[in-house]
Amino acid sequence: IGFGRNINSLEDPGVPFLRSFDRAQQVFSIRFVNPMWQVVRMMGAFGEGEVREHLRRLDSYSRDTVRLLKEQLDSETEHNSNFVSLFIRSAKKDNKTYSDDFLRDLVLNFLIAGRDTTAQGLSWAVFLLMQHREVEEKMIAEIKSVVGDGPVNYKHLEQLTYTQAVINEALRLYPSVPRDVKFLAEDDEIPGVGRFPRGSLLMYLPHAMGRSKKIWGDDAEQFRPERWIGKPFPSFFEYPVFQAGDRICLGMRLAWLEMKACFATLAPRLRFEFVGPVEDVIVDHSLTNGMMNGFPAQVSLR
């Protein structure tokens, strides 16, 4: 979808590009919370010593992707419908040109925004459903009622309101991006906190906001999809899973559709069971909300 290349991560989880991608994200996530990160970088500690090699590998892969996409568009041997190809094709029609650096950044942006976020959201949703079988059964009943025995289509996905509530609730408790930052474009004031000058870096924590009793009530720590049924959708400034305002995530609805399509296809057919203790599944706080040491599970047909 993003840029039309298969990284083969399922066949080979140890792909060097993906190892570099994950490690670079871990290093940069530490920088967000360590005011001494520049000193740490000079010392080469906490992965800083290897980050240049990881960035070189990411840069090489992304530039190679841009080159291949341009060659395919120039030859017109195939019609690519991935986002980056569509962007380049649209720019040509409008007589606009973009540098390879810009297109490289576009490739990385799609990868960062799309690779981990939906997959991790699904993983945490399955993790929660395995602990709340009554919610899982209610979701499956809705899917069977709406979809039946045929293939899933777009109209079906629009009708899966309880499944959407399950997804919203899972992302509330385990947002794909647990913390994020904003730079002030001008001097501004945060009510009850104080004034900050232009250029200040402010961090906010969707992971903490999703569990705040001030926002969600006394049961904020509980997995309860019913809180999303029959009520207006909350402000994205209270539920910043996809950010909010002018900078809201462009892929939000695509992510929702992908997750609902996965559940609609798999949930009625497969049952997931824990292999080890629930306590072994630990949040790996990188730039995205992964699972430390993975999520071992046993899968069987229903």
* pLDDT tens digits, 287-302: 788 888 888 899 999 9
β-bridge mates for residue 202, sequence order: 182
Winning range, highest mean pLDDT, from 33-37, 162-166, 174-178, 281-285: 162-166
E strands, the chain, where?
180-183, 188-190, 194-196, 201-204, 270-274, 282-285, 289-292, 297-301
Work out the end-to-end distance of the chain between its first and last CA atoms, rounded to an integer number of angstroms: 31
Residue 242 bears catalytic tag: yes
Q: Report if residue 10 sits inside a domain.
A: no
β-bridge mates for residue 301, sequence order: 270
**Residue 51 pLDDT level (bands cut at 50, 70, 90):** confident
Could you tell me if 163 and 282 lie in one domain? yes
pLDDT at 134 over 80: yes
Q: What angle do CA 108, 20, 257 make, to 5 degrees?
A: 45
- Please enumerate in sequence order all residues whose Cβ is within 8 A of that of 200, keeping only pairs 6 or more positions apart, or say none: 183, 184
β-bridge mates for residue 240, sequence order: none
Q: Report if residue 129 sits inside a domain.
A: yes
**pLDDT at residue 273, rounded to an integer:** 94
Could you tell me if 293 and 181 lie in one domain? yes
**pLDDT at residue 155, rounded to an integer:** 96
Cα–Cα distances in angstroms (integers) from residue 230 to residues 146, 173, 221, 226, 274, in the given order: 19, 20, 20, 8, 32
Nearest to 138 by CA among 224, 222, 262, 234: 224
pLDDT at 76 over 70: no
Catalytic position from the list 117, 118, 163, 288: 117
- Please enumerate in sequence order all residues whose Cβ is within 8 A of that of 254, keeping only pairs 6 or more positions apart, or say none: 1
Cα 252 to the center of its chain, rounded Å? 9
More confident residue, 280 or 165: 165
pLDDT at 258 over 90: yes
Q: Which amino acid is at 121?
A: G
Q: Report if residue 9 sits inside a domain.
A: no
Q: Mean pLDDT across the stretch 5-32?
A: 77
Could you tell me if 287 and 204 lie in one domain? yes
Could you tell me if 72 and 123 lie in one domain? no
> pLDDT tens digits, residue range 82-97?
778 888 888 888 888 8
Could you tell me if 155 and 60 lie in one domain? no
Q: How many Cβ atoms from other residues are within 10 Å of residue 97's Cβ?
A: 9
Query: Of 114, 136, 156, which closes a domain?
Result: 114
Catalytic position from the list 21, 249, 263, 288: 249
Could you tell me if 94 and 164 lie in one domain? no
Q: Report if residue 39 sits inside a domain.
A: yes
Could you tell me if 20 and 109 lie in one domain? yes
**Residue 197 pLDDT level (bands cut at 50, 70, 90):** very high
**pLDDT at residue 4, rounded to an integer:** 63
- Would you state the structure tokens that stand for residue 228, as one six-digit string? 């999303």
- Please enumerate in sequence order all residues whose Cβ is within 8 A of that of 102, keeping only pairs 6 or more positions apart, or say none: none
**pLDDT at residue 228, rounded to an integer:** 97
pLDDT at 212 over 90: yes
Q: Which amino acid is at 42?
A: M
- Please enumerate in sequence order all residues whose Cβ is within 8 A of that of 225, keeping only pairs 6 or more positions apart, or say none: 135, 162, 165, 166, 168, 169
Q: Mean pLDDT across the stretch 159-172?
A: 98
**Residue 41 pLDDT level (bands cut at 50, 70, 90):** confident
- Is residue 249 marked as binding? yes
Cα–Cα distances in angstroms (integers) from residue 283 to residues 45, 46, 122, 177, 223, in the given order: 22, 19, 14, 12, 16
Global pTM value: 0.83
Query: Of 78, 95, 114, which closes a domain?
Result: 114
Could you tell me if 24 and 90 lie in one domain? yes
Distance from C-alpha of 220 to C-alpha of 25, rounded to nearest angstrom: 29
**pLDDT at residue 130, rounded to an integer:** 96
Distance from C-alpha of 228 to C-alpha of 44, rounded to nearest angstrom: 46
Structural domain range at position 296: 119-301
CATH number of the domain that residue 140 is part of: 1.10.630.10
Could you tell me if 247 and 285 lie in one domain? yes
